[in-house]
Structure 1
Amino acid sequence: MINGWPETFLAGIQTLNQILTAGIAITAFSLFLYALSFNLRDRVARSFAIILLCVVVVFTAESLQDSTVSIRTLDLLLRAQWFGIIFLPAAYLHLSDALLVTAGRPSRGRRRLAVRAIYAVSAGFIILLAFGYLLGPIVPDGKPAPYLQRTGWTEVFTAFYISALVWAGINFARAYNLMLTRSGRRRMLYLMAGATAPALGSYPYLLFGYSLAAQHQYLFWSAATIINALVGALVIVMAYAVAFFGVSWPDRVIKSRLFKWIMRGPVTASAALALMTVVRRGGELLGVPYSAFVPFTMVATVLLMEHTITFAAPVWERWLFFGRDRNELELLQNIEERLLTQSDLQQFLEAVLAAVRDHLQSPAAFVAALDDETLFPIVVGGNRSLLDQEGLTKALDHVNGDTRREFLWGNFWVLPLHRQRRPDMDRDELPPLLGLLGVARRDENQRMENDQRNALWLLADRAAVALEDRQLQQRVFRSLADLQPQVELIQRMRAAGR
C-alpha cells in the first residue's frame, strides 16, 4: 500500500475529477433549464443558454467515460464532447455582442454578420469532425486518458478557438467600460469572471495528444481537478449575473429564486452523486462490486437535502435577501400564508356549520354576510329549502343592541355576528354587525341547554372572525387590484433599464 501510494493518489485525484465533472454537467443543465424557464426573452440570456448547452454537452460526455464502456462508445463520447467545444467560441462571441447592445453600442450589421460567420465556421468544423478530418482515430490507451488523435485541422481549430475567445474578451471589456452605473459595472465584472469558466473547462481537452500531458499526469490531473472546481463556481457566478437581464422582478426575488433553484437542483443532485460514488468505490475496495447502500445513500441524501432546504429557506431569505426591508417583507409573507381566499373561507365556514349541526342535531344551518345593508348567505348546510333566502334581510329587524343574545326567526335560532371590540371603543358603543349565523330547530319545542348555548356562541365567534377577515381582505384585494397596473409599469421600466 505504501509502495503504491502514487497510483492510489492518482486514482483519488481522477475520482474527485469525475465527481466534479458530473457536478458541473448537472449544474450547467439545471441553469440551462432556469434560463429557458424565466428570462429566455432577453438576448443576453439566450446567448448564455447556448454557452450552458455547450458546457452540458462537454461535461456530460466526459462524465460518461469510464473503463466499463466499449472502445466504440468511448469514441462516440469523445466526438460528442468536441461538438460542445467547437461551438463554444461562437457562443462566446454571440454573448459579447449581446452585452455590447445592452451597454448601448448596437450593432450596425458588422458584428451580427461576424457572429453568424463564426457560427458558420463552427458548423464547418463540425463537418470536418464528422468526416474524421478534425480529429483522427481514438487512442484507447493514451496518457493521461483516452483521446482522439490530433490532425492538422486540430491545430487550425485551436488557433480559431483562442482567437475567437480573445475577440469575445475584448468585447466584454468594451461593454464593461460602457457601463455608467456601479451596479451595472459590478454585474458586468461578475459576468466577465464567470465567462472564463467554460473556456477553462474545455482547455484540458485541447491538451490531449500533447507529450506534456502524457509525461506529467499528476500535474495534468491536479490542474484539471482545480480547474473543474473553479468552473463549477464560476458557472454559478455567470448565471447570477445573467439572471438580472430582461426580467422585471426585484433583485431580492431574483436572488432568492436562483439560490433556491441551485440548492434544490445542482447542490442536491451533486451531493447525492458524490456520496454514491464514494460508497460504490468503497465497496469496490472492500471486494463488493455492488453495495445495497448505493441506492439507500442516494434516496437518503435527496430526502435530507430537500428537508433541510425547506426549513432553511425562510431563514436564508430573511438574512441574505431581505436587507433593511425585512419587517415589511415578513409582513407580506405572513399575509400570503394566512390570507383567506373565497374557497378557504367557504371551507372554514362549512366546518363551523358542520360542528353546529352536529352539536344541536340541526337539519340546516347558514352563515350570511352583511354587505350594504343586504344579507346574502355565504354558506348553507343541510336542507336548503328550510331557508327563505329572499326574506333573509328581514331578520335584521330582530337584531337588538345585545351582542351575545340569539333570537328566533321562523324556525331558526339566529345569532348576530359582530366585529371584535377594539380597545379604543366606548363602553356603550356597539361593534359593527358582520352577518348572521342561523341554526334550524328540529321541531318547535326544541330548547337549548346552557352548555349547548355556550358551545354555539363559541362557534359563532369563530364565524365572526372569519367574516371580519373576509371584509379586511376584500379591501386588500381591491387595493392590490388598483396597485397592480402601476407596479407592472414600474417593473417593465426596471427590466428595460437593466
Structure 2
Amino acid sequence: MVTTSLVAACAILHLFLASADAIVAFSLLVYVATHTPRNTATISFSVVAFLVAAMWLGEAGHVSARSADTQSLREAVFWLHVQAVGLALLPAAYIHFSDMLLRSTGSLSTGRRVVVVVAYITGAAWLALMLLTDTVMAGPVLTVWGSHFQTGTLYPAYVVYSVTLTLWSLYNFFRARHRCLTTSLRRRMGYLSFTFVVPALGFIPYLLAALMLTAVPEPLLVLFPLAGSIGVVPMIVVLAYIVSYQGVFLPDRVVKQSLINYLLRGPFLGVVVTFLVIAIPRLGHVLDLFSDRFLIFAVVFIIVVLQAALDRLRPFINRLIYQDEEIVWLEELNQRLLTSADLNELLNNTLIAVCEVLRVRSGFIAVPDRRTGGYSLQAVVGPIAKARSFLEQDGIKTLAMISQQGAGEGNGNNGYPLASDGYWLFPLAGQGDEPPGVLAAEKPQQRPDLSAEEMEIVQVLVDRASIAVEDVQLQRSIVQTLKGVAPEIEQVQQWGSQLRFASPSALAQLEADPLYTPEFHRAVRDALSHYWGGPKLTGNPLLNLRVVQAALPENNNNPSQALRAVLRQSVETLRPADDRDPMANEWILYNILRMRFLQGKRVKEIVQELAMSESDFYRKERAAIREVARALATIERGYMNTQGEGGRS
C-alpha cells in the first residue's frame, strides 16, 4: 500500500515537473525573442528553449493518458509526435549552444561547426524515422506513471547518438569555463555548467526507461522519467540569464531586474496555476469535494493574490537585486517626477480651487515665456480669450511691475493681491529675482477686498503652485543636461556589453567598428564639417559602418556619397513631428543642423535667422551634433539587428 502511494506520488510529481519544464522553456523563449537583439547566442538559445518546451509538453501530454481506450491512445500518439521533435533535435541544439559558448571565449573551430551541421542533419533524419516509422519509437503503452512510448529496433542507436552529443556538450561547457580568464566570468560559466549537469545526466536514464519497461520493478522504474524532468527549469533559466546579456546595451542590473520580474509574473504564476490544476482534482477525489467548481475559484484567487503579493514585495526584490539604496531611489524616481501634463493638471486643479474659494467663474495662471519676453498661459478657467486679451494689452505692464516688486523683500504682494483690469493678481513665489509666474482670479466689482480667511486659503494654494512651477523648471533643466550626456552614457553601456567575455573576436570588433570607439562623436562632427566634400569625409572612419556599406548600391558605389546620405537620414530623424512651436529646442537643434551642414549657410546668417547669439549657437551646435551621433548609432544598431549581426560575440 505504501509502495503504491509512493509510485502514485512520483507519477504526479513527474507530470507536474514536465508541465513546469514546458511552461518555463516556452516563456523564456518568448522573453529572449522580445527583449534581446537577434544574434548567434539568442538564436542558439531559442532553438534549445523551443525543443525543450516541445519535448516536455509532449511528455506531459502523453503521460496523462491513463486508460487503454482508443481515444486516449490516439491522443497519446499525437503527444508522442510532439515530443519526438524535442527528442530528435535537442542533442544537436545542445552541441550548437556549447559551440557558441566556446566561440564567445575565442575558441574558433571549423570542425565543431561541421559537427553542429551534421548533428542537425542527423537529428532531422531521426525525427523523420520517429514520425513516419516504428523503427525508433513505437506506439504508447500504459505504465505506472501514465503512458510511455515503446522502443523500435533502431532505438538503441538513437540512445547512443543522444548520449554522445549530450556528454560532448557538457565537456564543451567545462572547456568554456576553463577558458574564461577572470573570476566573475568563470563564476558565470560555472553556474551554467553546473545547472547543465543535472538535466544532461538526467536525460540519460529518461532515454533508458523505454528499454526497461518490463525489466525493472515499478517502484524503481518510475524514478527514470522523474530523473529526466528534474533540473530542467534551473538549466533553462540560467541559459536565459547568460544569453540576456548578449548584445544588450543596458547595465547588468537592468537586465537582471527585467528577467526576474518576468519570471515572477509569467512562468512562476503559470507553474503555480498548473500545480493547482493537477493537485485539486486529485485532492477533491480523495476528500469527496466538487473539485471542478473549487478549481475555478482557486485559480482566480491565486492569480489575484500573487499579483498583489509581487507588488508589495517589489521594493524588497529590488533591494536584493541592486543592494544599493541609490539605485532603489532612482527606480522610484519616475513616480516622483512631474511631467508637463502633470503640471498642467496640478495648476488647473489649483486654479479651480482658488476660483471656488473666491466664488468667481474665471482665472488663469501665466508663466514667463523666454521666447517672446512676455507671459504664456499655463492654465485657464473660463473664457480663454479674456485671459489672452489681458496678457496682450494692459495686463502685461502690470505683470512686469509685479515681477519687479516681487524681487524685493517685504513688497506687500505676497498675501495681498494687486487688482488690475478686473483681476486679482497673485505672484507665484520663487527663489530667483523674478517670480516664476502669476495666478490671476476674476475680481467682481461688488467685492472690494478679500476676507482674512479667504486670503489664508488662497495663499496656501498659491504657494503650492509656486513650488510646483519652480520644481518643474528645475527638473527640465536637469533633464536637458541628462539628454546632453545621454549619448556618452549609452556608448559606455555599449562598451560594457561588448566585453562580457574575454573574446578576441569581440575585441577585434571594438577596434574595427567606429560605433564602439571613443572617437565616434568626433568622427560624426568631422563628417558633418566636410559634408559637401573634403578629407574629413572621404577618409572618415564612419565609412566602415554597415549601414553606410549597405547604402553604396543606391549611391553609385560612391562611399562619400553613401555616408552623406546616411548623415542626411540621421539629421532628418531629428525633425520634430510637432510643428506648432518652431522655437522649441528640438526645432532649433534641427534647424541648426539643416542650415549649418545640409545647406552650408554661414554662422552669421543662421544666428540672425534664429535670433540667437553666437555663443548660444555654438553651444546648441555641439548638442545638435551629439543628437546626430545618437541617431546614427541607433540606425546602425537597427541595421545590425535586422541582419542578425547585432552584439556578435
Report the TM-score, using the length of structure 1 for normalisation: 0.90
Q: How does 1:244-283 map to 2 (within 5 A)?
A: 244-283=245-284
Cα drift, residue 311 of structure 1: 0.6
What number of residue pairs does the alignment pair up? 482
Q: Does 1:331 align with 2:329?
A: yes
Q: Which moved more, 1:91-100 or 1:341-350?
A: 91-100
Distance 1:290 1:125, change over 3 A: same
Letter paired with 1:337: Q
Distance 1:480 1:213, change over 3 A: farther
Match of 1:394 in 2: 397
CA distance in 2, matches of 1:444, 1:386: 20
Distance 1:37 1:214, change over 3 A: farther
Match of 1:178 in 2: 179
Letter paired with 1:406: P
Does the 8 Å contact 1:273/1:298 carry over to 2? no
Match of 1:378 in 2: 378
CA distance in 1, matches of 2:472, 2:145: 70
Distance 1:484 1:309, change over 3 A: same
Q: For residue 404 of structure 1, give the secondary structure of its aligned residue in structure 2.
A: coil
CA distance in 2, matches of 1:162, 1:228: 16
Q: Does 1:164 align with 2:165?
A: yes
What stretches of structure 2 of length at least 5 have no aligned partner? 406-410, 501-649
Q: How does 1:462-477 map to 2 (within 5 A)?
A: 462-477=464-479
Does the 8 Å contact 1:207/1:213 carry over to 2? no
Cα drift, residue 198 of structure 1: 4.7
Letter paired with 1:458: V
Does the 8 Å contact 1:412/1:439 carry over to 2? yes
Match of 1:209 in 2: 210
Q: For residue 248 of structure 1, give the secondary structure of its aligned residue in structure 2.
A: coil
Q: Does 1:406 align with 2:417?
A: yes
Does the 8 Å contact 1:23/1:270 carry over to 2? yes
- Matching residue within 4, 8, 14 for 2:5: 8
CA distance in 2, matches of 1:79, 1:7: 30
CA distance in 1, matches of 2:473, 2:254: 30
Deviation per CA, 1:300-339, whole angstroms, max 9, x where unpaired?
1111111111110111211x1222xx23213323422110
Q: For residue 340 of structure 1, give the secondary structure of its aligned residue in structure 2.
A: coil
CA distance in 2, matches of 1:137, 1:87: 18
Deviation per CA, 1:4-56, whole angstroms, max 9, x where unpaired?
22212211121122112212221112111111111242321221121111111
| Superposed CA RMSD | 2.3
Q: Does 1:27 align with 2:54?
A: no
Q: Does 1:416 align with 2:427?
A: yes
Deviation per CA, 1:204-247, whole angstroms, max 9, x where unpaired?
44123323675232223235435534222333233223322222
Letter paired with 1:327: E
Distance 1:215 1:485, change over 3 A: same
What stretches of structure 1 of length at least 5 have no aligned partner? 421-429
Q: Which moved more, 1:477-486 or 1:151-160?
A: 151-160
Does the 8 Å contact 1:93/1:165 carry over to 2? yes
Q: Which moved more, 1:74-83 or 1:233-242?
A: 233-242
CA distance in 2, matches of 1:27, 1:442: 69
Cα drift, residue 144 of structure 1: 6.1
Q: How does 1:131-146 map to 2 (within 5 A)?
A: 131-142=132-143, 145-146=146-147
- Matching residue within 361, 364, 367 for 1:363: 361
CA distance in 2, matches of 1:214, 1:306: 48
Q: Which moved more, 1:396-405 or 1:486-495?
A: 396-405
CA distance in 1, matches of 2:356, 2:214: 82
Q: Which moved more, 1:57-66 or 1:329-338?
A: 329-338
Cα drift, residue 190 of structure 1: 1.5
CA distance in 2, matches of 1:470, 1:47: 48
Distance 1:365 1:134, change over 3 A: farther
CA distance in 1, matches of 2:221, 2:250: 44
Distance 1:20 1:147, change over 3 A: closer
Does the 8 Å contact 2:45/2:97 carry over to 1? yes
Deviation per CA, 1:345-378, whole angstroms, max 9, x where unpaired?
1111111111122222323211112354642221
Q: For residue 150 of structure 2, give the secondary structure of its aligned residue in structure 1.
A: strand
Cα drift, residue 490 of structure 1: 0.8
Q: Does 1:491 align with 2:488?
A: no
Distance 1:170 1:58, change over 3 A: same
CA distance in 1, matches of 2:447, 2:137: 101
Report the TM-score, using the length of structure 2 for normalisation: 0.70
Deviation per CA, 1:77-132, whole angstroms, max 9, x where unpaired?
1121121111111111211121122112334x443333222211111111112211
Deviation per CA, 1:406-440, whole angstroms, max 9, x where unpaired?
112211111010126xxxxxxxxx86511100112
Q: Does 1:122 align with 2:120?
A: no
CA distance in 1, matches of 2:202, 2:293: 34
- Matching residue within 52, 57, 62 for 1:60: 57
Letter paired with 2:189: M
Does the 8 Å contact 1:415/1:437 carry over to 2? yes
CA distance in 2, matches of 1:125, 1:224: 21
Q: Which moved more, 1:29-38 or 1:384-393?
A: 384-393
Q: For residue 458 of structure 2, give the secondary structure of its aligned residue in structure 1.
A: helix
Match of 1:348 in 2: 346
Does the 8 Å contact 2:54/2:82 carry over to 1? yes
Does the 8 Å contact 1:190/1:241 carry over to 2? no
Q: How does 1:224-235 map to 2 (within 5 A)?
A: 224-225=225-226, 227-235=228-236
CA distance in 1, matches of 2:202, 2:302: 28
Aligned identity (percent) is 27
